[in-house]
Each structure stands twice: as structure tokens, then as C-alpha cells.
Amino acid sequence: MIDITKMKEWNLIPYDSLTITSSMKKDEIITTLNSNISRNTNFAQVYNRNSSKDYEGFLTDKEFRIRRIMKIGYNSFIPIVIGKFQKQENEILITIRPHKFVLIFMGFIVLFGLSMFILTSNFTKNDNDYPQEIVDIMGEDQFKELLGDQYLKHQEININWNDLLIPLIGYLILIVFYNTERLIVKDELIFILKARIKEI
């Protein structure tokens, strides 16, 4: 469910990086994470829905990579959370980003839409269709009057804005679902690890 009240916390780029400081020691953090993570080193678009745990991924003494398990429904935009333990052991650098396949697919959609926009739009005026000598002899006003709408059509810059809808809609879908999941994961991690966001 999209929480509209948290829209001011949304990122316009599907990427987030923050450092959290836990009140627990590193071994306690690892134990807590282990109790909440179902082991999975393959982040394909298939979830282990039968798991009793809320997250899947893997954990070492240096870092962890997890994502939330969808118990009901399906969401390709669930982000990958990468946590790296810092020198101060109760500090974790958290990176939240979409799955690489999602980024590749959305990149393709954006490039396709932009390509169609460029190919179907005419950004130049067609002034050279009429010899300048004729325009000079007749005078530009009389020439416009003689040709009427046809002259104006040749002067138009034709931009097909509809083709920008494809990448725009794709971008909006990515941003809405990414930010919704990002905030859920961030809040849950802070709660589970008894942490707070370190101010820079």
C-alpha cells in the first residue's frame, strides 16, 4: 500500500545510501539478521514464499544482501538491500537499489521511448522547400497569403510528445514502487536492528 504521507521522503533516482548506527554489538546484529533472513544467494525474480521469515538473502561477517519476501502478490520492483559493516562495528552502510534486471528492462523502455520520440518528431523548419528568389520577388506576406495553411505547415516544428509517455510512465512506475518498498525496508531494518540513521 502506498503511503502518501511519506512522499516527501521519496527519491527521484532509484537509489539510496545511508549509514545506520545500532545499539547492538556486531555479533548481536549478525544473530538478529540471521533470525530474520532465509538463506538465498540467487536474487532471481522468484521468491521463497513458503519461508516463515520476512527476508531472503545471505550474510557474512563483512556484509549482507537481502530483499523482502512477497508473501502475497508479485512486485518486480522490490529493492536489493546491501549492508556493509564499518570499522566501528555497530555502524552499517546501507545501499538500497532495484534489481539489476529491473534497471536493464527500464533502461530499455526509456531508450525505446526516446528513440521513437526522436525518430517521429521533426525539429527543423522546412524553409528550403520554396526557392528564396520567389519569396523575395513576391514578398513574404504575399507568399504566405498565396500558400495559406500549406506555408504554415512547412514552417511548423512537429514534435510528437506522445512517444515520451512510454518512458515517462515506466519511470513513474519504477519510482512509485521502488520508494514504497524502500521506505518499508528502511523502517523495518531500523526497528529490527534497534538502530538510528547516522546524520552526516
Q: What is the pLDDT of residues 39-98, one digit of tens each?
A: 887 766 556 667 788 899 999 999 999 998 887 767 778 899 999 999 888 899 999 999
**How many domains does the chain contain in total?**
2
Q: Is 22 exposed, middle or buried (0-12, 13-18, 19+ CB in 10 A)?
A: buried
Q: Are residues 10 and 94 in the same domain?
A: yes
All residues at 6 or more sequence positions from 144 whose CB lies less than 8 Å from its CB, including other chains: 151, 152
User: Any bridge partners for residue 70, and if so which?
Assistant: none
Q: Are residues 34 and 63 in the same domain?
A: yes
In this predicted structure, what is the pLDDT of residue 110?
A: 84
Instruction: Supply the range of the domain harboring residue 38.
Output: 4-98+177-197
Residue 170 lies in a domain: no
In this predicted structure, what is the pLDDT of residue 152?
A: 47
In this predicted structure, what is the pLDDT of residue 155?
A: 46
Q: Are residues 42 and 93 in the same domain?
A: yes
Identify the CA nearest to 183 among candidates 33, 6, 1, 4.
Answer: 6
Q: How far is CA 13 from CA 8, 18, 95, 103, in A?
A: 14, 15, 13, 11
Q: How many CB atoms lie within 10 A of CB 163?
A: 19
Ramachandran bin of 149, using left for φ above 0, alpha for ψ from -120 to 50, beta for the remaining angles: alpha
- Cα 92 from Cα 22, distance rounded (Å): 8
Query: Whose grid coordinates read 545500532?
Result: 22
Residue 74 lies in a domain: yes
Tell me the HSE value of 51 on the side-chain side, using a 13 A CA sphere.
20
Query: What is the pLDDT of the chain when averaged over all its residues?
Result: 80
pTM above 0.95, yes or no: no
Q: Are residues 187 and 155 in the same domain?
A: no
Residue 132 lies in a domain: yes
Q: Are residues 145 and 72 in the same domain?
A: no
In this predicted structure, what is the pLDDT of residue 114?
A: 83
Q: Are residues 46 and 79 in the same domain?
A: yes
In this predicted structure, what is the pLDDT of residue 94?
A: 95
Residue 172 lies in a domain: no
87 vs 147, residue with greater confidence? 87
